[in-house]
């Protein structure tokens, strides 16, 4: 399959470089966008533009209670317990990126809001 880009540019699309992004379905079908995120998420050195785009498609931010509950899972307790304060933000962003790669967008957002 080929795709037309801008001007004289085209690209060949293969199954290796296709990915699916679920669109918001409730309400008016518009995500919150990245402007709703704190600066430390928007300016992450780990998350790519595509990662931020996925996060921006969520319709609402998780509640403080949902974030607190997620922080108490074994998965997150281990991460927090094995990192020091100076590197914790880096490890949380790396974990969020992994979750995004696994299609766990809401969980990734919870990690970033911890």
Asked if residue 10 belongs to a domain, the reply is no
The answer to the question of residue 1 being in a domain is no
Rounded CA-CA distance 76/89 in Å is 13
| pLDDT of res. 21 | 63
pTM for this model (two decimals): 0.75
**pLDDT tens digits, one per residue of 20-79:** 666 655 555 678 888 889 999 999 999 999 899 999 988 888 999 999 999 999 999 999
**Dist. CA 91–CA 96, nearest whole Å:** 9
Query: Which structural domain, as residue segments, surrounds residue 85?
Result: 22-112
Instruction: Tell whether 106 is covered by a domain.
Output: yes
Q: How many domains does the chain have?
A: 1
């Amino acid at each position: 399959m080929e795709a037309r880009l801008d001007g004289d540019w085209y690209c060949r699309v293969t199954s290796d470089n296709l990915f699916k992004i679920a669109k918001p379905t409730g309400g008016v079908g518009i995500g919150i966008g990245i402007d709703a995120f704190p600066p430390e998420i928007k300016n992450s050195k780990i998350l790519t533009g595509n990662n931020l785009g996925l996060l921006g498609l969520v319709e609402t931010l998780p509640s403080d209670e949902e974030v607190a509950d997620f922080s108490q899972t074994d998965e997150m307790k281990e991460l927090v317990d094995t990192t020091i304060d100076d590197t914790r933000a880096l490890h949380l962003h790396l974990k969020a990126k992994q979750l995004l790669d696994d299609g766990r967008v809401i969980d990734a957002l919870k990690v970033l809001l911890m």
